[in-house]
Amino acid sequence: MRTLVLLLAVLQSAAPPSSLSVKIEDEQKALVTISGTGPDMPAGAFQGSVAVNGSDARLPVTGTVTRSGSSWSLPIEVRFASVPADWAERLKPDAFSARLDGRVGDTAKAWSESGNWKEIEVDAGKAQEKFLSLRDVQITEMTLTSSEAQAIVAVRNPFSFPLRIAETEYTLFAEGHEVGSGSTRGMILHPAQNNTLTLPIEVDHGALISAAGKALLSGGDVRVELNGKLVVRLKGGDISIPLHLTGHLTDAS
């Protein structure tokens, strides 16, 4: 299932759909729908378990199979907090495999699929807003010749295990003009909570004054964008999450 990757990969546009589709419902859960054809999956209540990438850790799942002609569909609600930590250890940025075992009434059913994450149909909605937000960009020091700033970014980790951020890289824009940049190394997203990241920004003082000097002097509103990436490090490989966050600039100096 793609519940973990959807959080970590900023939900890029999917390729033509496979027999798996995922809808991020909110910051707590996703709806994973498995579909297929053939008479071997009857309609009715399903109860079973699923595993990914050969993990021995299985997630209990329930749902209701519906049929339309020769096709069947099984939607399953997956809560992020229930995803086993071993799935994260085995996750790979591109390839995946999944296996579902269970019963519909007296009928046993085993289903499996493998492929590339990009083949899965994804309805992310405004998923980035559910997990990433720019709380504030603050000017921490301003003189006649120099400026310093920091961005306060909220990142939600909905899983029951910590996630490691290997690095971040970002560029700050004020009123559409590039005014600074920065990077960090080695941070931890604590499990099942919102995490606050403080990202230092090296400001181009001249560019900032040119783009927003009048507004800053008058106490007016300055629109900012923070663009870049956040890299989550997993045992199977790094996953790069694009940052495209908007907010406002405040003077805390």
> Average pLDDT for consecutive 10-residue bins of the chain (253 residues)?
41 49 91 90 95 95 96 95 94 88 93 85 78 94 90 96 97 97 97 96 95 86 96 91 94 77
16's tokens: 């033509």
- How high is the pLDDT of residue 14? 36
Residue 161 contacts residue 189 (beta carbons within 8 Å):
no
Round to whole Å and give the CA distance between 177 and 206. Answer: 11
Domains of the chain: 3-123 (2.60.40), 127-251 (2.60.40.1820)
Residue type, 7: L
pLDDT number for residue 128: 72
Q: Residue 15: its pLDDT value, please?
A: 37
- What predicted TM-score, i.e. pTM, was given to this entire model? 0.84
Closest CA to 53 of 2, 122, 108, 120: 2
- What does each C-alpha distance from 248 to 133, 142, 171 come to in angstroms? 12, 17, 15
Give the length of the chain: 253
117 neighbors 97 (Cβ within 8 angstroms)? no
